Amino acid sequence: MLKAHAKVNLTLNILRRRNDGFHEISSIFQEVTLFDEIALEPLAEDKVILTCNIKELENEDNLCYRAAMLLKEVFQIPKGAQITLKKNIPIGAGLGGGSSDAAAVLMGLNTLWGINLPEKDLLKIAAAIGSDVPFFIVGGSCAVSGKGEIVEKISLPQMDFLIVFPGFSIPTKEAYAEFDRYCGKEKCREALEDGSSKDEVYAHQELSCPKFHNDFEPATFTKYPELKKIKEGLQMKGAVQSLLSGSGSSVFGIFDSQKNLKEAFAHFKKIYPLSFMAKSKV
């Protein structure tokens, strides 16, 4: 069984819109111990079969399926695979679940099919599948830039998280459209000018650094005020940092007290059943 871990964004700076339609970003990604489960089995037949505990994900647009088919096409693999996916990471939550699943399938089939690509070549294939997929090939703590394809391993202290999924998803495309509209009105100029670099994160490893931020927050909190309330609630419950993850909709808190973490988890779990305690994964 393969574990496809979720991630949170400790910083997320949206730098500019590129000519190819993507946005240039600078971000600190942190893998966490919440994970989906994936099983891969060889098939003698020349096909890929995907089954999932969420039936609507059993389709050819699923990043797991696309990852497998891309490997087959590029390397002319004459055999197949059965992919069994158990989703634990909420969908459309800003936690990278689909991208992590695709990366796990790439790495798993790289071994199962005897392709044995080195990491640098897997990263190129991963970038063709989705912007966040390369990060999950590397994993752990990383500085991520470009549209997500530039990934540099970094070292950060151990962290304890409470991740709150509000029960609704925010499509990434929608979040960027809202960001562009919001910035077009120059309402988020301050957020854009207050970007964090990885050096600023290193300089504040006690985790009380105000530079931990997400450029999506001003626009997203305007459209979804419930998310701002969750962030404020996490801080009231003792989180030393609280942030929207990725383009949303999950909000996470970082805790330096196990007592505060457990009390906050008990509180939020009653309101939002898909709340998770997790640790950073090296």
Q: Picking from 58-62, 85-89, 127-131, 177-181, which range would have the lowest pLDDT averaged per residue?
A: 177-181
Q: Are 89 and 36 within 8 A, CB to CB? A: yes
Per-residue confidence (pLDDT) for residue 118, from 0 to 100: 97
The pLDDT-based confidence of 184 (bands split at 50, 70, 90) is low
Asked if 149 and 215 sit in the same domain, the reply is no
Domain of residue 221: give its range. 160-279
Residue 270: Cβ-neighbour burial (10 angstroms; 0-12, 13-18, 19+): exposed
The pLDDT-based confidence of 196 (bands split at 50, 70, 90) is very low
Q: Using the predicted structure, report yes or no on whether residue 203 has a pLDDT greater than 80.
A: no
Q: Picking from 33-37, 87-91, 111-115, 188-192, which range would have the lowest pLDDT averaged per residue?
A: 188-192
- Which of 153, 184, 203 is a domain's end point? 153
Share of the chain above pLDDT 70, in %: 90
Asked if 91 and 187 sit in the same domain, the reply is no
- What mean pLDDT do residues 139-153 have? 95
Q: Of 36, 72, 101, 132, which one is the catalytic site residue?
A: 132
Asked if 126 and 54 sit in the same domain, the reply is yes
Pairing of strands 80-86, 48-52: parallel
Asked if 172 and 130 sit in the same domain, the reply is no
Provide the b/e sequence for 137-153 (b: ≥16 CB within 10 Å). Answer: bbbbbbbbbbbbbbbee
Asked if 61 and 195 sit in the same domain, the reply is no
Q: Of 7, 147, 231, 237, which one is the catalytic site residue?
A: 7
Q: Using the predicted structure, report yes or no on whether residue 193 has a pLDDT greater than 60.
A: no
- Which of 98, 122, 153 is a domain's end point? 153
Asked if 78 and 32 sit in the same domain, the reply is yes
Q: Using the predicted structure, report yes or no on whether residue 278 has a pLDDT greater than 60.
A: yes
* Encoded tokens for 269: 């779990």
Q: Using the predicted structure, report yes or no on whether residue 175 has a pLDDT greater than 80.
A: yes
Q: Using the predicted structure, report yes or no on whether residue 256 has a pLDDT greater than 70.
A: yes
Asked if 264 and 164 sit in the same domain, the reply is yes
Cα torsion angle, 121, 124, 127, 132, sign: positive
E-strand spans in the chain? 2-17, 23-43, 48-52, 80-86, 141-146, 150-153, 160-164, 241-244, 251-255, 275-279
The pLDDT-based confidence of 188 (bands split at 50, 70, 90) is very low
Q: Which tops the pLDDT comparison, 185 or 140?
A: 140
Question: pTM score, two decimals?
Answer: 0.91
153 catalytic residue (yes or no):
no
CA 37 to chain centre: 16
* Encoded tokens for 206: 């006690």
Q: Which tops the pLDDT comparison, 22 or 144?
A: 144
CA 157 to chain centre: 19
The total of structural domains in the chain comes to 2
- Which of 128, 153, 178 is a domain's end point? 153
Asked if 146 and 166 sit in the same domain, the reply is no
Asked if 65 and 138 sit in the same domain, the reply is yes
Asked if 8 and 148 sit in the same domain, the reply is yes
Q: Using the predicted structure, report yes or no on whether residue 207 has a pLDDT greater than 60.
A: no
Asked if 169 and 254 sit in the same domain, the reply is yes
**Backbone dihedral region for residue 54 (phi beyond 0: left; psi -120 to 50: alpha; all else: beta):** beta
7 catalytic residue (yes or no):
yes
d(CA 173, CA 186): 20
Asked if 82 and 99 sit in the same domain, the reply is yes
Return the CATH number at 266.
3.30.70.890
How many C-beta atoms surround the C-beta of residue 22 within 10 A? 14
The pLDDT-based confidence of 172 (bands split at 50, 70, 90) is confident
Distances (CA, A) of 250 to 88, 93, 157, 260: 14, 5, 22, 19
How many C-beta atoms surround the C-beta of residue 52 within 10 A? 20
* Encoded tokens for 239: 């989180």
Element (H, E) at 106: helix 97-112
Return the CATH number at 111.
3.30.230.10
